[in-house]
Amino acid sequence: MAATPGVRLLLGGAASVGLAAAALVLPVPARVAPAPERPQDAAARAEATLPALGVLWGRVRGWERVGAGWTVSWQPTHGVWLVQAWVPDDGHEIRWRIEAAPWLPGTRLSARAARFLAQHEGEPAQARERLARRDWLFPDDRLLGALPAGGELPAQPRARWPIHEALLAGFLLAGAAVRHLVPGSPSRVWRQAVGWSVAVLLPLLPGVAAAAPAAFGAGVRPWVAELAFGAAATMLLGVLLFGAQRFPAVAGSAPAAWLPAALAAGLLAGRLAPAEWLLALAGTPLGAPALMSFAVITGWLAGLAADGVRELLRFLRGARPVALAALGVAGVALPGPWLVAAAAVVPAAAVERGKGTWLATAVVWGWVAGTLWSLAWWEAGQLDALAMLLLSAAVAAAAALRATPLPSALAPAEER
């Protein structure tokens, strides 16, 4: 026997309170270091602390969260060289590095002269011949010709899970096939939501390029790198916009009873598996609208994958809940973003198609807000997290009011 709306509301409220309480109590994993300052503040601190380094730094082009600090990149307009610095949060020594185009001319020092200039007498040195200069590499130092260029910077470990990426891609393809073969009634709300999210992101792309520091390199003019990034991002957004129109979500009302629970689950996922790369996006001048648009588009994609999972498991019939539970447990056991992928896709696949995209987007939205709340400890980052939480609470309240039947005294006359 199906549960009544009151029972569903009671169960959803209990789940919401439990998940929210867990998000408040559980600590952030020790391997993740919260950021107490914006990347712009870290860049200003590096500019005030480091010496001139012998080259023109140029403007700040991008930043990346690496460990317990920010790696900031500067580059002049000509783009011949790139200055990078890792600025730790605790105020300890700032590590820096200069990259130069291989065709930039310089001197060709001997090994003895390079050791004397770098003050590394007796240390091993490795020479690298460039087009018009000779570079020297020491264990903790480098010379570009005769220019001291710093040493190695801390690097963010890149954990890749090709099997899980392939599975997620397969679920997305299956979901697209389902929506093509069994389209249902298309949802105008989700078409407009994805369309408006793309429209918001497009003018923000020049600023969002700062969150992709790998796009900038020595020997490439920064405006060329920004143009290449913008062109690639525009093509991707165009594909997503086409997909939202061609494979729209099925129309359905928001699950008022379970929407707060999905938001709380996403908040807990943001606490347990925060995404440090979201901090770089939050540090851009208009980070809040970019993050909100990202959450909506990613939620729509999660709903698409959930449709594929639902149809792939349909042949199991009675064992389908067990299979979904197994997928959820496997996702929770995985580190990083796969936790939120499982938390968004599995619940959306467990409900009907018209409600799945709502649940998936609520989880992703809560995950983004939870990541900001857990890691972005500067004032603007906390305000962005609060704004996302308040906006999600308003949407959940509106869905609950819409789902609540009117009292008999307030019902229209023709219904009495």
Locate 236 and state its tokens. 């991707």
Q: What is the pLDDT of residues 239-273, one digit of tens each?
A: 999 999 999 988 887 777 778 888 888 888 888 88
The listed range with the strongest mean pLDDT (146-160, 295-309, 349-363) is 295-309
Q: What is the pLDDT of residues 9-18, one digit of tens each?
A: 566 566 666 6
* Confidence check: pLDDT of 37 > 80: yes
> What's the mean pLDDT in 389-410?
71
- Strand ranges in 43-148 using DSSP code E only, listed in sequence order: 59-66, 69-75, 81-88, 95-100, 126-129, 134-137, 142-144, 147-148
pLDDT of 408: 45
**CB 337, CB 164: distance < 8 Å:** no
pLDDT of 416: 39
> What's the mean pLDDT in 29-56?
89
Pick from 368, 367, 282, 336: nearest CA to 35: 282
pLDDT of 197: 95
Q: How far is CA 258 from the centre of its chain?
A: 25
Cα–Cα–Cα angle for 334, 337, 341, nearest 5°?
A: 85
Locate 88 and state its tokens. 């730790």
Locate 34 and state its tokens. 């919260």
pLDDT of 1: 43
> What's the mean pLDDT in 21-50?
84
Pick from 52, 70, 3, 130: nearest CA to 276: 70
pLDDT of 404: 64
Separation CA 401–CA 398 (nearest Å): 5
Pick from 65, 16, 29: nearest CA to 366: 16
Separation CA 390–CA 81 (nearest Å): 44
Sign of the torsion angle spanned by Cα atoms 294, 296, 297, 300:
positive
Separation CA 375–CA 154 (nearest Å): 19
- φ/ψ of 155, rounded to 5, equals -115, 145
Neighbours of 323 (CB within 10 A): 15
**CB 314, CB 324: distance < 8 Å:** no
pLDDT of 414: 44
Q: What percent of the chain has pLDDT over 90?
A: 44
The listed range with the strongest mean pLDDT (156-165, 169-178, 388-397) is 169-178
CA atoms within 13 A on the CB side of 246: 10
* Confidence check: pLDDT of 31 > 90: no
CA distance readout (Å), 2 to 6, 7, 20, 254, 402: 11, 10, 26, 18, 21
CA atoms within 13 A on the CB side of 152: 7
The number of helix segments (H) and strand segments (E) in the chain equals 13, 8
pLDDT bucket at 125, cuts 50 / 70 / 90: confident
* Confidence check: pLDDT of 95 > 90: yes
pLDDT of 349: 87
Within 188-313, residue ranges assigned H as helices are 188-208, 222-246, 259-272, 277-282, 287-312
Q: What is the pLDDT of residues 276-318, one digit of tens each?
A: 889 999 999 888 999 999 999 999 999 999 999 888 888 877 7
pLDDT bucket at 82, cuts 50 / 70 / 90: very high
**CB 142, CB 128: distance < 8 Å:** no
- Domain ranges for the chain: 39-148, 159-403
* Confidence check: pLDDT of 116 > 70: yes
Separation CA 229–CA 170 (nearest Å): 27
